[in-house]
């Protein structure tokens, strides 16, 4: 009877200890979830002391050690948990993650396999095995594992994001967007899903959508510097530089040692032409991370974009030295070599970049530009086409392909490509301006004016947009509209000499010769090499009887442009009127020599005039 009572008391004591152990374990979970890892370790250790047979306590402590990156201690705890409960699938899965973080791939795979063998419905183990494959760039297997996890638990947000990342890495961007969107539908507070979807939208050149997603992520997680940096990148690509700079500044405020924010802000300062600020930020980025291939590459690209190709080379070489497999560094160096006229070296670097990353639209685009510059138009078109297959919203490629269509007078194809630029970049005037130019070339001036109207609506500070509209209006003989557009161009840019020259031409057409002289004089004051302004001013001076001044202007016009047919004609007319027949004949002959084919009737008329004047001259002799 006494033995029975003692046994009963020991059992009750054990139950009490187990209960106290469970209580400590639950408190440990709470401490872990609020990020107090030291407290969690202490509580799990207490739970183990109270109940050394608690596999769950060892498992819990091991997971906290993993979060603290103390993987050797984590693995030791997982080993004990497995000894205590050999059928515990999650213990194998957790140990597999620790092994992977320790670089022990084979052991990690073996543990993931055991976890799934013990529990085929362990979607976490499928997810973790997928992550391992993804880190090894084995995306086919990774996606298979992620898909299995989703099949088991369709509401597992983390695995939706992981599969989205894998799709993004292999260029299946629509599939990536679908996964992130489903993750957000399941959990509207998933800031990581918003951030990742923003990254993919940015890759797709859908910058407004990217900015919206980054903004949503920031609203949920305002202290995360990377979201501000990513949104800054999107604003920069959208040429909204002030907002980009503000976001980089916020990222740096949150993380003063954030080298990438300094690096990317430097690139934006470079785009803004603020070289000193750019260089200071690059220096800071390299101070924080001296071995950053990305920073050296970014600085090299800035120099190359500025046309300082020699300065770009040391940084591009350093970027390759630091990361020999950096496709973007080879692409940058190729761009610099191309700018230096070193075709073979540029081509070799572009091909190396594409060898390293076959799905690299930027390298294809740059190689296409290299081919085009060397007259290899078909090869350029092939590269542009392949780049657009990989990146369907790549505006720069559409712009360059459209220019080839213009060269070949494929106007419809050029308009199609410029229309795509407008669709992709509705916030930019460039697509409208280029399409307007093509419309003008075709004589479709109303459509041209409509595009220029849209261009100045998008960018009211674009003097060349107003100037283009003025030319289209002048072609339709809408002189008031042309003059008004020139006035806007001058208002936006008082140094816009061609607006003064064009407005002077309009005044000429209206017989307003003093106004024409004033505008053309301003044009040649700003640009002394403007032959058109000298010619127009000469015409106005001749109309007002200032013959010698007119001849001086015509002479200067043909000095600047020796094939300027109209200036020769105007000069000949004045010389004929002042009875300088010999000189007039010489000027008319130069007009005939340089007049374009479409001036055939005028040429025939002048030829007859030359014959008549020659007879007059002979008669005098």
**64 neighbors 32 (Cβ within 8 angstroms):** yes
Model confidence at 15, in pLDDT bands (50, 70, 90)?
very low
With contact defined as beta carbons under 8 Å apart, do 303 and 295 qualify?
A: no
Mean pLDDT to the nearest integer, 266-291: 96
- 3-class DSSP state for residue 359? coil
What integer pLDDT is reported at residue 142 of this predicted model?
96
| Separation of alpha carbons 178 and 150, rounded Å | 14
Q: How does pLDDT run across 566-608, given as a tens digit for each residue?
A: 999 999 999 999 999 999 999 999 999 999 988 889 999 999 9
Token pair for residue 543? Answer: 């109309």
What span, in angstroms and rounded, lies between the C-alpha atoms of 88 and 272? 59
Q: What is the tens place of the pLDDT at every residue in 299-352?
A: 999 999 999 999 999 999 999 999 999 999 999 999 999 999 999 999 999 999
**Domain boundaries, position 609:** 563-621
In a domain, 619, yes or no: yes
Q: Is residue 604 part of a domain?
A: yes
Residue 567 maps to a domain:
yes
* Residue 243 confidence (pLDDT): 98
State the total domains in the chain. 1
Q: Is 429 part of any domain?
A: no
Q: How many CA atoms lie within 13 A of 105 on its CB side?
A: 7
- CA dist., res. 140 & res. 576, Å (int): 83
608 lies in a domain?
yes
Residue 388: strand, helix, or coil: helix
- Work out the average pLDDT over 98-119: 94
State how far the alpha carbon of 80 is from the alpha carbons of 45, 53, 337, 387, 469, in Å: 13, 9, 60, 54, 79
Question: Average of pLDDT values for 66-78?
Answer: 93
Tell me: the pLDDT tens digits for 110-128? 999 999 999 999 999 999 9
Determine the Cα angle at 413 with ends 407 and 416, to 5°: 130
The answer to whether the beta carbons of residues 198 and 217 sit under 8 Å apart is yes
Is residue 569 assigned to a domain? yes
Lowest mean pLDDT among 13-27, 129-143, 603-617: 13-27
Q: What is the pLDDT of residues 185-212, one digit of tens each?
A: 999 999 999 999 999 999 999 999 999 9
Q: Whole-model pTM above 0.75?
A: yes
Mean pLDDT, rounded, of the chain: 93
Give the model's pLDDT for residue 8.
Answer: 43
For 485-532, write each residue's pLDDT tens digit.
Answer: 999 999 999 999 999 999 999 999 999 999 999 999 999 999 999 999
Residue 254 within any structural domain of the chain: no
Q: How far apart are CA 235 and CA 75, in angstroms?
A: 45
Position 24 scores a pLDDT of 78
| CA neighbor of 248 nearest in space, from 236, 207, 216 | 236
Asked if residue 7 has pLDDT above 50, the reply is no
Asked whether residue 9 carries a pLDDT value surpassing 60, the answer given is no
Residue 549 binned pLDDT confidence (cut-offs 50, 70, 90): very high
Say if CB 309 and CB 339 are below 8 A apart: yes
**Spatial contact of 353 and 343, defined as CB atoms under 8 Å apart:** no
**Residue-wise pLDDT tens digits, 228-258:** 999 999 999 999 999 999 999 999 999 999 9
């Amino acid at each position: 009877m006494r033995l029975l009572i003692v046994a009963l008391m020991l059992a009750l004591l054990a139950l009490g200890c187990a209960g106290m152990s469970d209580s400590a374990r639950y408190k440990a979970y709470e401490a872990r979830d609020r990020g107090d890892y030291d407290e969690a370790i202490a509580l799990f250790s207490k739970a183990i002391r109270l109940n050394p047979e608690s596999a769950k306590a060892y498992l819990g402590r091991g997971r906290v050690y993993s979060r603290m990156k103390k993987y050797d201690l984590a693995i030791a705890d997982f080993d004990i948990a497995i000894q205590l409960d050999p059928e515990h699938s999650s213990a194998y899965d957790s140990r597999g993650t620790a092994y992977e973080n320790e670089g022990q791939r084979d052991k990690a795979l073996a543990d993931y396999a055991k976890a799934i063998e013990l529990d085929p419905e362990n979607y976490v183990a499928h997810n973790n095995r997928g992550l391992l494959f993804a880190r090894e760039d084995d995306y086919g297997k990774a996606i298979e594992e992620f898909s299995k996890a989703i099949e088991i638990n369709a509401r597992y947000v983390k695995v939706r994001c992981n599969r989205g990342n894998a799709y993004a890495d292999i260029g299946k961007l629509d599939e990536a967007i679908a996964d992130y969107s489903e993750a957000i539908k399941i959990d509207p507070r998933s800031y990581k899903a918003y951030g990742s979807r923003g990254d993919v939208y940015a890759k797709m050149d859908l910058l407004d959508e990217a900015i919206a997603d980054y903004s949503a992520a920031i609203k949920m997680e305002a202290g995360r510097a990377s979201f501000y940096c990513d949104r800054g990148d999107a604003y920069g690509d959208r040429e909204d530089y002030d907002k980009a700079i503000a976001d980089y500044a916020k990222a740096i405020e949150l993380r003063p040692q954030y080298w990438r924010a300094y690096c990317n802000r430097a690139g934006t300062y470079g785009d803004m032409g603020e070289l000193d600020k750019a260089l200071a930020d690059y220096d800071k980025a390299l101070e924080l991370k001296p071995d950053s291939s990305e920073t050296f590459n970014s600085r090299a690209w800035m120099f190359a974009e500025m046309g300082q190709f020699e300065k770009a080379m040391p940084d591009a070489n350093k970027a390759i030295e630091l990361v020999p497999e950096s496709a973007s560094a080879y692409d940058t160096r190729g761009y610099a070599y191309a700018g230096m006229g070193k075709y073979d070296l540029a081509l070799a670097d572009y091909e190396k970049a594409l060898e390293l990353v076959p799905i690299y639209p930027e390298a294809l685009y740059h190689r296409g530009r290299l081919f085009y510059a060397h007259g290899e138009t078909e090869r350029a078109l092939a590269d542009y086409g392949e780049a657009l297959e990989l990146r369907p919203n790549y505006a720069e490629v559409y712009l360059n392909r459209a220019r080839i269509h213009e060269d070949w007078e494929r106007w419809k194809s050029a308009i199609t490509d410029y229309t795509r630029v407008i669709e992709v970049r509705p916030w930019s005037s460039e697509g409208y301006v280029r399409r307007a130019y093509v419309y003008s070339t075709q004589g479709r001036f109303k459509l041209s004016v409509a595009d220029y109207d849209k261009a100045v609506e998008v960018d009211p500070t674009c003097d060349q947009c107003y100037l283009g509209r003025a030319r289209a209006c002048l072609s339709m003989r809408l002189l008031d509209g042309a003059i008004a557009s020139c006035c806007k161009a001058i208002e936006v840019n008082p140094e816009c000499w061609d607006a003064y020259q064009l407005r002077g031409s309009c005044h000429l057409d209206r017989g307003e010769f003093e106004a024409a002289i004033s505008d053309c004089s301003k044009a040649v004051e700003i640009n002394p090499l403007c032959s058109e302004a000298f010619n127009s001013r000469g015409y106005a001076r001749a109309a007002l009887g200032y013959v010698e001044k007119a001849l001086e202007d015509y002479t200067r016009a043909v000095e600047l442009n020796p094939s300027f047919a109209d200036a020769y004609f105007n000069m000949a007319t004045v010389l004929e009127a002042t009875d300088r027949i010999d000189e007039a004949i010489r000027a008319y002959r130069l007009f005939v020599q340089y007049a374009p084919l479409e001036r055939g009737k005028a040429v025939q008329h002048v030829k007859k005039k030359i014959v008549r004047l020659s007879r007059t001259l002979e008669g005098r002799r």
